[in-house]
Structures are given as C-alpha cells and as structure tokens.
Amino acid sequence: MSELRRDPITGRWNIINTDEPMGPEAFEVDRRQPSGTTCPFCAGKEQLTPPEIYAIRPATSHANTAGWQLRVVPNKFPALRIEGDLGRRALGLFDLSNGVGAHEVIIETPDHRKQMADLSLPELEQVVAAFKGRSLDLRGDRRLKYTLIFKNFGLSAGASLEHTHSQLIALPIVPKRVSEELKGAEHYFEFRERCPFCDMLQQELHDDERLIAENKSFLAFCPFVSSFPFEISILPKTHSSDFALIAPEAIRDLVRLLKEVLLRMRSVLSDPSYNFIIHTAPIEPRGWDEYHWHLELIPKLTKIAGFEWGTGFYINPTSPELAAKALRETQLPV
C-alpha cells in the first residue's frame, strides 16, 4: 500500500509509492538540442544580449566584449521590467498593477559545452557569489519585495537555450507559494518555539535513510514528503533565513555539495533536465527568525496531470528513501 505523507510546513499531502517504487532506470529523460552557432550566451556573441549589468572579466577587457568569465545581463524577453511605476489599481473586483520588477540572466561560463555540474569549484563560487551580489544590489529598489533565483536546465524544465545559465526575477509582491511556506513555518514556530527546517535537519540526520551527502555547512537529502521522484533539498546546517547573507566560507561549502549532488543526479538519472530554486525570506526587514533558506532541486521525470491540478498534492512514484539510496551509492567520476 502507498503512503499519504503530510508536509509539516505547508500542510500539503503527497502520495508516495512505497510498495513498488520506480527506480532510476524506469524514467525517460529528454535530450537537449544544440543551440547552433548563434548562441547569444557564447563568448564573442555579446552583441546579441542586452548590455551587461555585471561581469567578471580581466581589468584590461571592455564591457560587452569577449574575455569574461561570468556575465549578468537583463533578460531580452523579460517577464517584468525595471522601468516605470507600479500603478496599483482596481478593475472591478480585480487588483492589478504594472509589470515592474527585474529579470536578469546569469551566464555562468563562456564555454557552451559545459553544464553547471562541469564547472570548477572556483567557477561555481563565482556563480553563487553573483546570485548573492545581485540579490543585495536589487534591495536598493524599494518597489521590490521578493527575489527568486532559479535555474531551468533542459527542454522539459523550460530552458529555451542550451548554454548553461540561471535567472533572477525580483518581484514587487511576495508570491503566494512563498507566503504559504512562510506562514507554515511561522505557525510551527509559534506552536513549538523551534524552526521547522532545523527540526527537519535533525530528523534527517537521525533517520539516516534519505541523506545523500553533507559537509561542514550543508546537508543534502531527499525530503520525506517529496512531491517528485528524486527531489533533493540542500539546507544550511546553521539557521539563516536570508540567502543573500551567506558568508564566503559557506559559499565554498555550498558549491562543493551542489556540484557533488549534480554529478550524482547526472550519473543515476542519465543527465536529466531539472529545475532548482533558492527559497529565501522576503526582502523586507521583518526578521523571519522562524524561516530557513534552502535550495530545492527537481529532476523533470514526471508530468503534472489532472489529479495534481485538482487536489494540489502529488503522486510520487519513487520513495525518497529509494531515491536517496541510489544517489548516495552511485560511483562518481574520479
């Protein structure tokens, strides 16, 4: 018999197949199509993107030319634009405002052939430091309330270009899903006077069934209430609500664990498409002591269908215990 499992933070229920869970060999992954010779993110094609906002490049090189190691540019087709006023207003019973915000692309390397998992540790440190730097810089805009950092890798994960990149969208509102997670954490804290994520860390360390890898600062595991097969969470061991306040030494530990997890996922699941999202507290300086930032990584192995849309919870054909075991025991390349 399968199990119904409830997330203690969001209150969401999921159905987990624990009787005959699907192993990694049961899933088909999409195959990415080459972007060709006109990839706008490749070195030498800088004129195909909007002017860079930030870049890591030698002091002798010029902006928007080749020679860079990492670039941040506005999205050419932004979901939101930085220019203009919010213009909040009503249309009958509906609320609306102008599409004001920021939408940026972090081009992680000039090398078209590399995936994030292929980046060296110093290169990955530059990427995470850019996430932090851009998050902090955008806090100067008082219109913005929340910063979402995410990565779409592969066709089924929503990536329109093969060249490895991440995105940042700063919003003038706190998204509903984020608000629900914040409220759930707050409710748990009021009841138990503890951070639910810190309790989750202790539970995973105690159970030792869903762990994938860990180091001094971070723990990677498959959540007990996983919505998707081979879903992975990475949590800082030290309580912190705000990703943008991550210390340099913690960045080094994060990228070591992230690279290991990406390599394990690629080995076990034959290089799947995936999404990752950094969950962090809103920009407003409220404190959020009950919240704990974390990274969520989801391979795209299944599709959301009528049951999920109709109920708001998910059927996961692979138990997190089986997924973690496969990820933990796979042999990494030397």
How big is the chain by its Cα radius of gyration, in Å? Answer: 20
DSSP H or E run through 268: helix 248-269
Residues 6 or more apart in contact with residue 100 via CB below 8 angstroms:
80, 81, 82, 83, 84, 85, 86, 143, 172
Q: Smallest Cα–Cα separation from 165: which of 254, 265, 266, 35?
A: 35
Measure the CA–CA gap between 87 and 139, rounded to whole angstroms.
20
DSSP 74-117: E-SS-SSBSSS----EEETTEEE---BSEEEEEE--S-TT--GG
Nearest 10 degrees: Cα torsion 90, 96, 97, 98: -120
Count CB-CB contacts under 10 A for residue 277.
15
Residues 6 or more apart in contact with residue 11 via CB below 8 angstroms:
184
Q: How many residues does the chain have?
A: 334
Residues 6 or more apart in contact with residue 310 via CB below 8 angstroms:
none
Q: Smallest Cα–Cα separation from 118: which of 161, 88, 163?
A: 163
Residue type, 308: E
Residue 165 falls in the annotated catalytic set:
yes
Of the candidates 112, 165, 279, 292, the residue annotated as catalytic is: 165
Catalytic residue annotation: 165
